[in-house]
Amino acid sequence: MNAAAREALTVSGLTVAYRSDAGWLPVVEEASFTVREGEVLGLAGESGCGKTTVAYAMLGERRPGSRVMAGTVLLESQDVLAMPERDLQLLRGARISMVPQNPATSLTPTMICGRQVMEVLEYHRIAAGTAARRRALELLEEVGLRDAPGAFARYPHQMSGGQQQRVVIAMALAARPRVVVLDEPTTGLDVTTQWRILRLLRQLRDRFGTAMLYVSHDLAALAQICDRIAVMYAGRIVEVAATRVLFAAPRHPYTRALLAAVPSLDRPPEAEPALKGSLRRDELPPGCPFAPRCAFALPACAVTPQALVAIGVGHEAACWRWRELDGGLRALAHAD
């Protein structure tokens, strides 16, 4: 991707907290990233790391019980987080749209699919009446639904999961938004359908230059579609790099562990899982959040806060020991 391309979405210092018995508990801390025009940025991490909260915050949507404590989300130099409800309404679906995780629950069960696509066109004053109907049919064709008129008249429950997700994507793209946020869009689908949806998304990106924020825990899916990937752990972005670089030379111990956890035919299933334990929000140390599970952690890691630092061209990581670990691991790799 051309590094000089303009930024479509710029997030800085995003901090979101959830209400808990012990007060406001931060779930996303100081998240900063940009998505350029026509670029697909992946947001990877385990469940509970805050990636879905980030995804919804891009549309100014606060999940129940949550509050944005700090930060800005700039879309065309306007801060989404500071917008009144009225402006958000004009923005959502028109300039930034969402493809949620579960297509079966994202479509209204009592409305035919075509109407749900038409609604976007009508309320954003793109087309009305028969023009909207025609446009909706074109959109359904565009997302690869073979029988577009049939799909138009069908209720969501009369479709397969893959077809439903295509309808949701048609809705998301109806107003030709600059940015589409996708939250685990292929997670509930079978592998071949996943692959087809990913191919469709790539085609749509190439055709319309839509910037995408693709949130997923599935590294294989991310590898297929993303230009760059940001890795999140416990609400913090711990590494950002171009996809190729991230897979070839991960620097943060968490990224390494995550990649090692991907099942592979080249590698016998190891007795020990690459990633020990699980993410415990209530046991985060004041320093590096990954320290309790990190195979390379020193006592000092738990008390020394880590920030993203540039470690290469377009490559950032939040580990103060990345350099020494790199050397050590390379030596290990050669010893194999």
Partner 1 sequence: MLRLVVTRTAFALVSLVIVSALIFWCVEWLPGDAASRILGRDATPEVLALLRHKLHLDLPGPVRYLQWLGGAVRGDFGTSLAANQPVLDYVWSRAANTTELAGFVLLLYTPLSIGLGIWTAVSRGRAVDHVASILVILGMCVPEFVVGIVLIVIFAMTLHWFPPLALIDRAHSIGSVLSMLFLPAMTLTIAMTAYAVRMMRENLIEVLDSGYVQMARLKGLPRWRVLVRHALHSALGPALNVTALNIAWLMGGIIVVETVFSFPGLGRLLIDAIDLKDVPVVLAVSLLLTVVYIFCNLLADIAVLLLNPKLRHAG
Q: Which residues bind partner 1 (CB under 8 A)?
A: 59, 61, 64, 88-94, 97-98, 100, 102, 105-111, 119-120, 123-124, 155, 157-158, 168, 171
**How near is the Cβ of 301 to partner 1 at its closest, in Å?**
39
**How near is the Cβ of 123 to partner 1 at its closest, in Å?**
5
Indicate the residue among 12 and 89 with the shorter CB distance to partner 1: 89
**How near is the Cβ of 70 to partner 1 at its closest, in Å?**
23
Indicate the residue among 103 and 253 with the shorter CB distance to partner 1: 103
**How near is the Cβ of 189 to partner 1 at its closest, in Å?**
16
CA-nearest of 64, 90, 40, 58 to 198 is: 40
- Bridge partners (DSSP) of residue 77 are none
> Edge to edge, what strands does the sheet with 23-36 contain?
23-36, 7-20, 66-75, 78-79
**How near is the Cβ of 261 to partner 1 at its closest, in Å?**
29
Indicate the residue among 47 and 264 with the shorter CB distance to partner 1: 47
Q: Determine the Cα–Cα distance for residues 223 and 230; give it in Å rounded to an integer.
A: 12
**How near is the Cβ of 229 to partner 1 at its closest, in Å?**
24
**Strand 315-317 versus strand 236-242 pairing type:** antiparallel
Q: Determine the Cα–Cα distance for residues 108 and 95; give it in Å rounded to an integer.
A: 22
Q: Determine the Cα–Cα distance for residues 135 and 219; give it in Å rounded to an integer.
A: 35
Indicate the residue among 109 and 299 with the shorter CB distance to partner 1: 109
Indicate the residue among 139 and 219 with the shorter CB distance to partner 1: 139
In DSSP notation, 113-166 reads: HHHHHHHHHHHTTS--HHHHHHHHHHHHHHTT-SSHHHHHH--GGGS-HHHHHH
Indicate the residue among 61 and 218 with the shorter CB distance to partner 1: 61
* Under 8 Å between Cβ of 254 and 238: yes
Indicate the residue among 9 and 279 with the shorter CB distance to partner 1: 9
Indicate the residue among 42 and 93 with the shorter CB distance to partner 1: 93
188-192-194 Cα angle (round to 5): 40
**How near is the Cβ of 167 to partner 1 at its closest, in Å?**
11
Q: Which residues contact 287 (CB under 8 A, 6 or more apart)?
A: 300, 301, 302, 303, 304, 305, 306
Cα 52 to its chain centre, rounded Å, is 7
Compute how many other C-beta atoms are within 10 angstroms of the C-beta atom of residue 93. Answer: 20
**Strand 211-216 versus strand 40-44 pairing type:** parallel
> Edge to edge, what strands does the sheet with 96-99 contain?
96-99, 179-183, 211-216, 40-44, 228-233, 236-242, 315-317, 309-312
**How near is the Cβ of 151 to partner 1 at its closest, in Å?**
15
